[in-house]
Amino acid sequence: MVRTELVKLSTVPGSAYRQKLAKGGAGIVILRKDSQQPGIASISKKTGEAIISDNTPAKLYPAEAFKEAVELTAGLPYSKRKGVQLKGNCFREVASAKDEKPEKAEVIIDSSEYQKIVDNYTDKKGKLSYELLNKDLIQLTHRSSKARELIANQASVAEVRNYVVGAKFRSITGNSELTDAQVKLMAELLDEVYPKGVFKELNDDIRKSLKAAKK
């Protein structure tokens, strides 16, 4: 008998699976059919309940959905999926990067790598801090010789930002082979749950640096 790693949910239009977290323990990933944003949670070793990631939208992924996911995946093996694949406006499961060759319009991200980004900028209160994120990226902008070169050559705000964000995300995930499309998708997922724009402070700082370099 082959035990499935993916279960369908009744509380939301989507599916869920368990994954082994890099920092230890188990996590839950929920994929909705109608949203680009995945729902991510770790599982408490003490209570067995889902600890929902701060940037997971409650309206899309209510606590009931994670409770159902935890119950339905109990006893199932960890998923061997390397990530989730974006097709159109929906995520779908990918068994292995070797098994499928995505079309140019499709992007694969590893949900555990995405979680590392979230974990890295979670404050002491357990909340995802966009202030910490922007502060870190601004510091890298001023520290990086490549970023300073781009600014000196009057590159666009987007070009400087994309370089800095890409460099930082590759460093945090430990994956130097992250493509620009993967970095862009991770940034878009963060931005989707932050109406002000996740990189607003970074963009403002880059504009000031470009203006100063132009004089």
31-45, 54-68, 102-116 — most confident range = 54-68
DSSP class of 128:
B
Of 59, 60, 72, which is closest to residue 16 (Cα–Cα)? 72
Provide the greatest CA pair distance for the chain. Answer: 71
Give the per-residue pLDDT at 211: 94
Give 182's pLDDT tier (boundaries 50, 70, 90).
Answer: confident
Confidence at 53, pLDDT banded by 50, 70, 90: confident
Residue % of the chain over a pLDDT of 70: 80
Asked if pLDDT for residue 20 goes beyond 70, the answer is yes
Note the pLDDT of residue 164: 97
Instruction: Determine contact, residues 203/161, Cβ cutoff 8 Å.
Output: yes
Confidence of residue 96 (pLDDT cuts 50, 70, 90): very low
Is residue 188 within 8 A of residue 199, CB to CB? The reply is no
CA 192 – CA 198 distance, rounded (Å): 9
- Give the mean model confidence (pLDDT) for residues 62-84: 79
Residue 89: predicted pLDDT: 38
Give the phi and the psi of residue 45 in degrees, each rounded to 5.
Answer: -70, -25
What tens digit of pLDDT does each residue of 117-158 get? Answer: 888 988 887 777 889 999 999 999 999 999 999 999 999 999
| Distance in angstroms (rounded) separating the CA atoms of residues 13 and 91 | 12
Instruction: Tell me which residue has tokens 């203006």.
Output: 211
